[in-house]
């Protein structure tokens, strides 16, 4: 009631509104329009049951990045050995990676041809030395080797029989020889035939007489595909593949290409032939490229038959998907699952291809990796582009650059290869779940695509849901073996899916809703629009959202006025207060709001953080997002909050960005933070304990991670620095430390003087943890560094660890070198002149009999390195700017430099960084420095809990 006694309509909640609000917040489908309800009922009757819905997926995206399994090309010509001017294993497999292929299977028509054990051994040696992706070889059938070639079966992909004219000396015309090969070749190893028209029919008939399976490659004509269709209908074991030039080119393109340039075997078919292939897509088992590179001058002058195709087939097929001629499940089935099954190939663990489904480009505008450097499809516009290829956990190709080194490919038929075996005849699930997200905000309509493999029993296709495990690097988690494809938004940070329901004993239960609680807040559904979302600007708020915010604000205001207790819903949660400008009201009100709700606060400003050392805004924000659950940001630059939200993995609340916006109010912020974070309780181990954070030097990571660790454990923190303490009045170090030890249970000390921590421990009555003492040591950093190495690589023993940068002043490398003497490692040192590792550290390492060596350049030390530990040149340790600049820029980590490093290694940095690691390298999976810094919280939680004798009772149950 107000003044005149009437009630505001906007504050009155009707039963209908409450019902609609609950339906939205609890993700329960609700139809309020009668006409729509009738249509829905009719639709349910039409589909014959309950529709499959998944309402827990939502995303904002302007594009789609698909993560596909590694593709397999069962038909390529590498021209190596013998014709390496056309192609070799290095260039050919580079082209394969650029096209999204992680396995290529090479034909035997090389010089010499692979027809016996000696030629096979030679070809395998060449492939092993040059291949950048995984591979397998075929052996060739001749008119005389049918009695002995079968002994090669365990070592090859299969046997190739050339029954028609082609670019080869292996053609066989005698049908009696065909039969000898078909009888002698093991039935569990495929026979692949180049056979056209009537010859193909004769080959299928001959195989049926044995009987044995047969694979017909590069089918090109209507008569051929119809014959294969009829053979399959009769139960004959025949499979086939089709090439892109027969799907996308025809005799009508000969005039454009030229009579010689258009030469290929089999020749291009008519439009009637091409249409027949598309009309019988269910008959086709595989797609192959028949990658047959020839130099342009050879094509123009001699008309040699063959087209390159490794780099163009995927975008051509994706374009067909966009136009509706092909389904995405068919594409994956024919380029991954079916080839793996027919040829009995093992799985490639941790292997996938990331493709931008929507990127439009023109073939020929980008440089080719194939040596022949041309394509019959040049000038054609396509949609879909390979962005990244990861092979067995290592980035092999990214953004147009091949990172895989020569010789890193694995022979798929080698029994000692690091691959998982797969039984022949077991059907594969290629597309477990295809999650499509609408580009518009608010749409979340997942589409389940089931695999419809021609000729395979339905019981072999098992579909399992894919969890959305978001990662900052690539937006999605790596698909496990058996999982097919995930389509994700093309964003560079992790987004929190708006998941509103969880399964509980088979029924939907709202997340965060406890029926046993009779708190007034639980009378209505929480407004899911706020969950996991950053608050950057008021122009995105709707009237409905304002009403919801004010409702909760009124509740809190009433609770404070009437001195009612408030449920500590944020107990165990942490807010980062990041203020690049001074503030009293906004800063304190946010901190008060968070702590009123049972949460904790860790603070960062420009006075006492590594911003004074030159740390970038981006690095600071990323690091703070690893420590806290939500970030409150004040910055003088308009748009800073929006920029932070785009790079942080946690929600960002805009507390004012210069002359831009300041959308929050204290009570509104209370509700927003509560809705951002939820109600999950944290660990309560050091409750009632107090940590003194005493920092005589500026710091972001060490200071904030110690504070975050203490508060995560339920303890509290009191801080002291040189700016706001009596140190400015001349108080001695000893007096300050003694006083702080009377206030706290443990002291964390950072001091510029070596030995300061040891001195403090001698006079304090409480434990002292060294957070860095000048150029001395930094023991907790060393602990988290070793912990990171173990987590990233799996072991510390046997590794080569290279330390780069300011090794003289870098206390982190001093402690790390000493700690690593507990392991069997090799240490390498690379530093500018005058900044080498102190002799005392070298002597200590030597006394422990650990191998160590000094290198003059990073390029020299990088090969063979398992861990590259980079440190900044510490400007604050130099007497003059000139001396500092002499040492800068000597060793810089760039994506180009890291192409010389191992694919299975990591790059670490204690941070802050300046220019010693380019930000372009941040998206590389080997960049571990942000994960390294996040580990600091967990290490320091362990140290604090052990130091205070407050370990969790749950630890022993892990």
Q: Residues 342, 346, 347, 351: is their CA dihedral positive or negative?
A: negative
Of the listed 701, 809, 811, 926, which one is catalytic?
A: 701
> Active site includes 729?
yes
Nearest to 57 by CA among 433, 399, 314: 433
Q: Residues 808, 811, 816, 819: is their CA dihedral positive or negative?
A: positive
Strand partners, 362: 381
CB 126 within 8 Å of CB 106? no
> Active site includes 215?
no
Of the listed 215, 336, 394, 750, which one is catalytic?
A: 750
Of the listed 86, 689, 778, 809, which one is catalytic?
A: 778
Listing DSSP states for 751-786 in one string gives ESSTTHHHHHHHH-SS-EEEEEETTS--HHHHHHHH
866's CB contacts (< 8 A; 6+ apart) are: 793, 799, 800, 801, 902, 904, 905, 906
> Active site includes 778?
yes
Listing DSSP states for 310-347 in one string gives TTTHHHHHHHHHHHTSS-HHHHHIIIIIHHHHHTTPPB
Which H/E stretch holds residue 373? none
CB 923 within 8 Å of CB 812? no
Give a three-class secondary structure readout of 790-859: HHHHCCCCCCEEEEECCCCCCHHHHHHHHHHHHCCCEEEEECCCCCCCCHHHHHHHHHCCCEEEEECCHH
| Pairing of β 652-657 and β 690-695 | unpaired
Quick one: tokens of 637? 């630059």
* Whole-angstrom distance, CA of residue 774 vs CA of residue 910: 15
CB 913 within 8 Å of CB 615? yes
- Through-space distance between the first and last CA atoms of the chain, rounded to whole angstroms: 56
Q: What Cα–Cα distance (Å) separates residue 147 from each residue in 115, 140, 184, 207, 857?
A: 12, 13, 7, 18, 57
* Whole-angstrom distance, CA of residue 192 vs CA of residue 189: 10
* Whole-angstrom distance, CA of residue 871 vs CA of residue 613: 13
> Active site includes 144?
no
Per-position b or e across 204-237, b if 16+ CB within 10 A of its CB: bebbbeeebbbbbbbbbbbbbbebbbebbeeebb
* Whole-angstrom distance, CA of residue 217 vs CA of residue 75: 8
DSSP structure class, residue 70: P
> Active site includes 634?
no
Per-position b or e across 373-397, b if 16+ CB within 10 A of its CB: ebbbbeebebbbbbbbbbbbebbbb
Which H/E stretch holds residue 579? strand 574-579
* Whole-angstrom distance, CA of residue 521 vs CA of residue 341: 56
Q: What Cα–Cα distance (Å) separates residue 483 from each residue in 69, 241, 287, 426, 454?
A: 8, 24, 20, 15, 19
Of the listed 35, 423, 729, 954, which one is catalytic?
A: 729
Q: What are the helix (H) ranges across 150-248?
A: 175-184, 197-209, 222-233, 244-248
| Pairing of β 101-106 and β 134-137 | parallel
Nearest to 209 by CA among 173, 163, 176: 176
Quick one: tokens of 733? 């170090």
Strand partners, 908: 869
The SS3 of residue 122 is helix
Question: What is the number of residues in the chain?
Answer: 958
Of the listed 239, 319, 664, 702, which one is catalytic?
A: 702
Nearest to 293 by CA among 99, 11, 54: 99
Catalytic site positions: 701-702, 729, 750, 778
């Amino acid at each position: 009631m107000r003044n005149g006694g009437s009630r505001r309509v906007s504050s009155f909640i009707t039963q209908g509104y409450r019902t609609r609000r609950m339906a939205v917040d609890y993700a329960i489908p609700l139809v309020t329009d009668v006409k729509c309800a009738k249509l829905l009922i009719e639709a349910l009757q039409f589909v014959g049951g309950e529709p499959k819905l998944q309402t827990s997926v939502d995303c904002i995206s302007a594009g789609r990045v698909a993560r596909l399994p590694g593709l397999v090309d069962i038909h390529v010509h590498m021209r190596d050995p013998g014709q390496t001017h056309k192609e070799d294993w290095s260039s050919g497999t580079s082209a394969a990676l650029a096209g999204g292929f992680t396995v290529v299977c090479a034909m035997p028509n090389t010089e010499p041809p692979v027809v016996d054990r000696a030629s096979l051994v030679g070809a395998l040696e060449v492939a092993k030395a040059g291949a950048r992706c995984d591979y397998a070889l075929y052996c060739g059938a001749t008119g005389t080797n049918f009695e002995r070639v079968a002994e090669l079966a365990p070592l090859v992909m299969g046997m190739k029989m050339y029954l028609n004219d082609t670019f080869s000396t292996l053609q066989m015309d005698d049908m009696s020889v065909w039969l000898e090969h078909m009888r002698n070749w093991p039935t569990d190893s495929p026979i692949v035939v180049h056979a056209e028209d009537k010859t193909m029919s004769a080959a299928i008939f001959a195989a049926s007489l044995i009987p044995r399976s047969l694979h017909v490659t590069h089918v090109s004509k209507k008569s051929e595909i119809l014959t294969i269709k009829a053979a399959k209908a009769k139960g004959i074991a025949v499979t086939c593949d089709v090439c892109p030039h027969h799907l996308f080119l025809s005799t009508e393109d000969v005039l454009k290409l030229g009579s010689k340039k258009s030469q290929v075997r089999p020749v291009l078919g008519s439009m009637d032939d091409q249409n027949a292939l598309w009309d019988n897509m269910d008959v086709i088992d595989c797609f192959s490229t028949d990658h047959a590179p020839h130099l342009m001058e050879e094509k123009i002058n001699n008309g040699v038959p063959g087209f390159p195709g490794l780099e163009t087939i995927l975008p051509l097929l994706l374009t067909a998907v966009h136009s509706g001629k092909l389904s995405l499940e068919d594409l994956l089935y024919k380029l991954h699952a079916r080839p793996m099954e027919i040829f009995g190939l093992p799985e490639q663990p941790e292997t996938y291809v990331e493709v931008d489904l929507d990127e439009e480009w023109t073939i020929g505008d980008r440089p080719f990796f194939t040596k022949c450097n041309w394509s019959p499809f040049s000038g054609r516009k396509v949609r879909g582009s390979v962005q990244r290829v990861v092979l067995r956990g290592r980035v092999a190709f990214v953004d147009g650059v091949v990172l895989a080194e020569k010789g890193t490919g694995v022979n798929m038929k080698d029994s000692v290869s690091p691959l998982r075996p797969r039984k022949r005849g077991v059907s594969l699930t290629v597309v477990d779940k295809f999650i499509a997200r609408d580009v518009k905000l608010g749409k979340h309509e997942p589409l389940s695509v089931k695999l419809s493999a021609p000729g395979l029993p339905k019981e072999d296709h098992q579909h399992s849901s894919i969890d959305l495990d978001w990662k900052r690097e690539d937006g999605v988690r790596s698909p496990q073996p058996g999982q097919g494809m995930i389509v994700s938004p093309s964003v560079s940070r992790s987004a929190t899916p708006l998941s509103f329901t969880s399964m509980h004993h088979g029924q939907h239960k709202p997340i965060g809703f406890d029926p046993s609680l009779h708190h007034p807040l639980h009378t209505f559904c929480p407004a899911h629009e706020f969950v996991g979302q950053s608050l950057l600007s008021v122009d995105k708020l709707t009237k409905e959202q304002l009403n919801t915010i004010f409702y909760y604000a009124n509740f809190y205001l009433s609770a404070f006025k009437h001195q009612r207790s408030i449920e500590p819903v944020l107990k165990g949660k942490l807010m980062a207060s990041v203020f690049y400008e001074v503030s009293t009201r906004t800063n304190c009100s946010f901190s008060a709001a968070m702590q009123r709700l049972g949460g904790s606060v860790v603070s960062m400003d420009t006075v006492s953080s590594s911003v004074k050392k030159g740390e970038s805004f981006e690095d600071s924000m990323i690091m703070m997002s690893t420590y806290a659950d939500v970030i409150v940001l004040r910055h003088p630059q308009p748009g800073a909050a929006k920029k932070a939200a785009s790079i942080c993995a946690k929600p960002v609340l805009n507390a004012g960005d210069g002359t831009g916006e300041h959308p929050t109010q204290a009570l509104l912020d209370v509700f927003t933070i509560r809705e951002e974070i939820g109600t999950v309780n944290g660990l309560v181990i050091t409750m009632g304990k107090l940590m003194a954070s005493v920092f005589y030097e500026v710091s972001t990571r060490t200071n904030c991670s110690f504070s975050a660790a203490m508060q995560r454990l339920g303890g509290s923190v009191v801080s002291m620095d040189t700016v706001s303490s009596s140190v400015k009045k001349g108080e001695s170090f000893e007096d300050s430390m003694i006083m702080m030890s009377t206030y706290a249970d443990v002291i964390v000390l950072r001091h510029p003087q070596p030995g300061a921590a040891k001195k403090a421990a001698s006079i304090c009555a409480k434990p002292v943890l060294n957070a860095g003492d000048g150029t001395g040591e930094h023991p907790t950093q060393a602990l988290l560094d070793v912990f990171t190495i173990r987590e990233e690589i799996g072991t510390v023993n046997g590794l080569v660890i290279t330390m780069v940068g300011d090794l003289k002043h870098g206390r982190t490398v001093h402690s790390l070198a000493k700690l690593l003497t507990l392991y069997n490692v090799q240490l390498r040192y690379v530093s500018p002149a005058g900044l080498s590792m102190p002799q005392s550290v070298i002597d200590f390492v030597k006394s422990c009999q650990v191998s160590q060596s000094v290198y003059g350049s990073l390029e020299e030390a990088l090969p063979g390195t398992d861990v590259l530990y980079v440190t900044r040149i510490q400007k604050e340790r130099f007497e003059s700017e000139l001396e500092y600049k002499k040492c800068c820029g000597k060793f810089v980590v760039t994506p180009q430099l890291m192409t010389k490093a191992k694919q299975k290694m990591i790059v670490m940095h204690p941070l802050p960084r300046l220019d010693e690691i380019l930000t372009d390298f941040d998206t590389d999976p080997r960049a571990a420095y942000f994960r390294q810094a996040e580990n600091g919280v967990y290490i320091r939680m362990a140290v604090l809990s052990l130091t205070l004798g407050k370990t969790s009772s749950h630890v022993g149950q892990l």
